């Protein structure tokens, strides 16, 4: 049976603490799922992310906001063990990039991004199921009934249960996004990384997704979550922290209510913005 368990957030702390054991850095707490220390990513002599410090704890739900090209995806790829820092250090779930087997680490992460190529000729159910083995596409691996039931239940949770047997390639953009998120949760990850999950969705589909992510954020057993977006309207209720990026650097970070302000957003996006909130949701417009 593919390895996934149905433990709680308490388990995550316990497992992390156990793994870190005697190598535990003095500043690394059991609850830390991401520790980015002065990390820079350089390509072609350009810093895509520059000297970023960032820490995420297991009960936190973060949004990373910023304009096109700010470095958000690069930062998420660092947290997802898809990119290594050129300078500084990145530790994810207690494992330091460059000193660990990232393939093993990736099995503990849920990751969605538009760049993830999922097979169009497989059913939505198989697209979710194969995440148990951290593979894309079914081969000869076998799944137990409990895995199939979990995959169906995740598809239900994201409102696409009725589409389980449809080919992934025949689904609409919004339906695919929901299948992708169900897939990212299949292996019971300790950290969930979502890169622009609402991009390309119509208003109804976006609102539905934001509501479902809000429900996930409110679940105390859900993993730590990091969501990248361009739009404050896409911050689900229940998110706790924000990191604002511009040109590879951090403009502001911290508790959501202290960080997502008109002043910080104006600096981040390079234009004067007005911000309002209705029922825990943010709305921004040019001042």
Ligand X SMILES: Nc1ncnc2c1ncn2[C@@H]1O[C@H](COP(=O)(O)OP(=O)(O)OP(=O)(O)O)[C@@H](O)[C@H]1O
Nearest to ligand X of 72, 177 (CB atom) = 72
Please pick, from the candidates 12, 62, 73, 171, the single residue that binds ligand X as defined by CB under 6 A.
73
Q: How many CB atoms lie within 10 A of CB 136?
A: 14
Does residue 45 touch ligand X according to CB under 6 A?
no
**283 touches ligand X (CB under 6 A):** no
Strands (E), the chain: 32-43, 46-57, 61-65, 87-92, 95-96, 109-112, 191-195, 224-229, 241-246, 249-255, 273-278, 281-286
For ligand X, which is the closer residue by CB, 70 or 92? 70
Q: If binding is defined by CB under 6 A, does position 115 make contact with ligand X?
A: no
Dmax (CA) for the chain in angstroms is 57
Q: Which stretch binds ligand X (CB under 6 A): 8-16, 52-60, 61-69, 275-283?
A: 61-69
Size of site (CB under 6 A) for ligand X: 13
CA end-to-end distance (rounded Å), the chain: 56
Q: Is 197 in the site for ligand X (CB under 6 A)?
A: no
What is the number of other CB atoms lying within 10 angstroms of the CB of residue 44? 5
Closer to ligand X at the Cβ: 19 or 43? 43
Q: Does 50 bind ligand X (CB under 6 A)?
A: no
Cα 106 from Cα 122, distance rounded (Å) = 22
Nearer to ligand X, 186 or 252 (CB): 252
Cα–Cα distance between 88 and 84 in angstroms, integer?
10
Interaction between residue 70 and ligand X (CB under 6 A): yes
Q: Does 69 bind ligand X (CB under 6 A)?
A: yes
Name the residues that contact ligand X, by CB under 6 A: 43-44, 46, 48, 66, 68-74, 230
């Amino acid at each position: 049976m593919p390895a996934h368990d149905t433990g709680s957030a308490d388990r995550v702390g316990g497992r992390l603490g156990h793994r870190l054991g005697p190598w535990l850095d003095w500043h690394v707490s059991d609850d830390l799922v991401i520790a980015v220390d002065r990390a820079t990513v350089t390509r072609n002599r350009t810093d895509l992310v520059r000297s970023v410090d960032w820490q995420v704890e297991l009960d936190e739900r973060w949004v990373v906001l910023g304009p096109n090209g700010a470095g958000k995806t690069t930062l998420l790829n660092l947290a997802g063990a898809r990119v290594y820092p050129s300078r500084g250090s990145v530790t994810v779930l207690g494992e330091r990039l460059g000193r660990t087997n990232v393939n093993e680490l990736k099995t503990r992460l849920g990751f969605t991004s538009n760049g993830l190529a999922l097979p169009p000729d497989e059913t939505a159910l198989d697209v979710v199921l194969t995440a148990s083995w951290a593979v894309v596409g079914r081969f000869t691996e076998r799944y137990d009934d409990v895995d199939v039931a979990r995959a169906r239940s995740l598809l239900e949770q994201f409102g696409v249960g009725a589409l389980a047997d449809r080919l992934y390639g025949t689904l609409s953009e919004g339906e695919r996004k929901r299948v992708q998120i169900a897939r990212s949760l299949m292996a019971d990850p300790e950290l969930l990384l979502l890169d622009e999950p609402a991009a390309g969705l119509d208003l109804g589909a976006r609102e539905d997704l934001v509501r479902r992510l809000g429900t996930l954020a409110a679940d105390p057993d859900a993993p730590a979550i990091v969501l990248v977006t361009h739009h404050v309207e896409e911050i689900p209720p229940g998110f706790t922290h924000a990191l604002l990026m511009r040109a590879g650097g951090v403009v502001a970070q911290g508790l959501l209510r202290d960080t997502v302000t008109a002043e910080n957003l104006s600096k981040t996006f390079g234009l004067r913005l007005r911000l309002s909130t209705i029922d825990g949701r943010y709305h921004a417009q040019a001042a």
